[in-house]
Amino acid sequence: MDTTLAVSEPGVNVVLQKALALAHASKSASASWGPFEVGYSASVALSGGTATLQNAPANKLDLQGIHVAGSVSAYFTFDLGKILPTICIPPFQVCVSIPFIGTVCTPQVCIHWPSVTMGVNLPFAFNLDVSFGFRVDDLGSQWGIDLLIDPFSPRFDLSPMGPVIIAAIQAQVSATLGTIPLIGGLIAGLVNTVIGTLTPLVSGIIAAFGDLINLILSLLDLLNVSIPFTLLKFDKTQTFLPANVPLMGDAPVNMTLAVLQAQVLDRELVAEASLA
């Protein structure tokens, strides 16, 4: 081979950290769980992690401890009228029919439950370990040394979000009901009714948040299992001397990288090329 390029493990880490710094994305979705309509968006950013190289024939790059951090912004909308029972004060109304006057009832006030809209921000963070293989790809005018990620299943636990969601809704419902006159003594029970309706649904809501985070991760170039991530690119036409240097009218002196191959040797990514 005419030329050799080797990148050390620390060098690969520097290149990867530059790629990770660009790896951020967000996406949104919405769905209903019982009476609760939830619009939610998640943003994810990657950082950190340490790359190690596995020599040929494995030719692998292991990237351990990538820090995945972000947050889910969720907006809950629910009509308390679909959750809480109808409450009238007094509970019973007595009506009598009086000749020549008609029906006359005792006074009664029934409460119209309002709708509640509230937002909650739910930060999350977890670490991810992934493994890549190497492949040289013809990118048209360039050669690319590409990383092919092995299929992976990120493991993360969003269950701590459950109590946060419940507490936020509890506070919002309490505040909303607190503005309604005559029901002061009933508020605690009413809030419990709302939370009792919500609690069995929380795990499903959090699972949907997890699906959205997984979807975002799969959209990040570095972690996409379908599309190779180009770690290093080399122009096939290498201009060794540019045009007009040193004299005006001087033609460029170009050479072509005809063949490129790459493998891991001595824990270095070694690329060899032939010039034509």
91 binds other proteins (CB under 8 A): no
239 binds other proteins (CB under 8 A): yes
Q: Identify which range of 37-45, 54-62, 79-87, 238-246 contacts other proteins by CB under 8 A.
A: 238-246
Could you tell me whether strands 36-54 and 60-79 are parallel, antiparallel, or unpaired per DSSP bridges?
A: antiparallel
Distance CA 260, CA 143 (A): 7
189 binds other proteins (CB under 8 A): no
Backbone angles phi, psi at 219, to 5 degrees: -85, -15
Q: Identify which range of 1-9, 35-43, 62-70, 191-199 contacts other proteins by CB under 8 A.
A: 1-9
- Look up residue 22 and give its two tokens: 């660009």
Member of 65, 90, 178, 252 binding other proteins (CB under 8 A): 252
Q: Identify which range of 23-31, 149-157, 176-184, 253-261 contacts other proteins by CB under 8 A.
A: 253-261
3-state secondary structure 49-96: EEEEEECCCCCEEEEEEEEEEEEEEEEEEEEHHHCCCCCEECCCCCEE
193 binds other proteins (CB under 8 A): no
Our CB check for other proteins shows the closer of 18 and 155 to be 18
6 binds other proteins (CB under 8 A): yes
251 binds other proteins (CB under 8 A): yes
Of residues 16-45, those binding other proteins (CB under 8 A) = 18
Member of 43, 197, 224, 254 binding other proteins (CB under 8 A): 254
| Contact residues for other proteins, defined by CB under 8 A | 1-8, 10-11, 14-15, 18, 232-235, 238-241, 245-246, 249-255, 266-268, 270, 275-276
